[in-house]
Amino acid sequence: MGLWELVDKVLIIFYKISGHPVFDYFLGTFLLALLAVVVGEFTISLVFLVNKNHLDRLNIQLANLQQLSMLALKLGDKKSYDACNKEANDTFGRVFFNMVGLSAAALWPAFFALAWMQLRFTGIEFPIPFTGLAVNYVFTFIICYILARMFFGRVKNRLPYFRGIHRMLMEYEKSSAPKIS
């Protein structure tokens, strides 16, 4: 049995809980989305731990340059303002693209979930009442994914591994405020 067949056998269990097709579809999709959220949170925590120092350096550098440019503006020093703004520009570019890694780590499971749903639920449409329009598995998955994220956001600081990561993230956000020496 191939890997994809094995995954299919496991994931379809989410869709056979109550026996009522519509209810099972939405419950199963929510559970699938929740699984994607949990796996994504785990991998993003890995990337965060590995890249923390690097991201720290970039964020602090960016925050300092931004503040310098503001101070230069307040003091009417246009030349310094332009220089600091240009440097901040360059640093922002690095910060922005480093976020790609974090975003990728958080979202990759969602795309595999969509790939599986594409095999199983292509062609099934959900009509929107009174409009004549219909949506497909992608739309329903996105809604369930957002709900799953919100749900997990509320419970994650009660779960063993994620509690520690959550605490670290809170400390990280507090300590990364800019300071000019």
Partner 1 sequence: MKKGIVNKIALVTLLLMLAILVLGASGVGAQQGSQPQLVGSDLGLKGKLGEAIANAPVGTGKGEIDPNAPRGAFGIPGAPQINYLVAILWAIWVGWIFSTVGAFGGIMAGVGHMTVYGLGDYIKTFKNTAPQVNKLLTDSIRTSNQFLVGLSSLLSTINYLRAKRLAWPLGLALGVGSIVGAVAIPALTGGKVSFSQYQGWFGLFVFVVGGVLLYETTPRGQASKKAAKEAAKAFEQSIKEKKDEASQGIKVTQWGLTETRFTFFGVEFKFNPIWAFVGGVVIAAISAFLGVGGGFLYVPYLTSIVGLPMFVVAGTSAMAVLVSMLTSITTYITVAGAAMDWGMIGVELIGVFIGSMIGPRTQKYIPDIWLKRLFVVLALYVGLRYFSRGFFGQSWVP
Determine which residue in the list 105, 144, 148, 165 makes contact with partner 1, applying CB under 8 A. 105
* 166 vs 153: CA distance, rounded Å: 10
- Which C-beta is closer to partner 1: that of 23 or that of 93? 93
Residues 62-101 contacting partner 1, CB under 8 A:
62, 64-74, 77, 79-90, 92-101
Considering the complex, what minimum distance in angstroms separates the CB of residue 23 from partner 1? 25
- Which C-beta is closer to partner 1: that of 34 or that of 84? 84
Q: By CB under 8 A, is residue 17 in contact with partner 1?
A: no
Residue 48 is encoded by which pair of tokens? 């965060």
Enumerate the β-bridge partners of residue 134. 127
CB 30 within 8 A of CB 147: yes
CB 55 within 8 A of CB 167: no
Residue count at the site for partner 1 (CB under 8 A)? 64
* 116 vs 113: CA distance, rounded Å: 5
- Which C-beta is closer to partner 1: that of 29 or that of 69? 69
DSSP track, 60-80 = HHHHHHHHHHHHHHHTT-HHH
Task: Spell out, one character per residue from 121 to 160, where the chain touches partner 1: x when CB under 8 A holds, - when not.
Answer: -xx--------------x----------------------
In the chain, which ranges are continuous DSSP H helix? 3-11, 21-74, 78-121, 137-155, 160-175
Q: By CB under 8 A, is residue 3 in contact with partner 1?
A: no
Residues near partner 1 (CB under 8 A): 43, 46-47, 50-51, 53-54, 62, 64-74, 77, 79-90, 92-112, 114-115, 118, 122-123, 138, 177-181
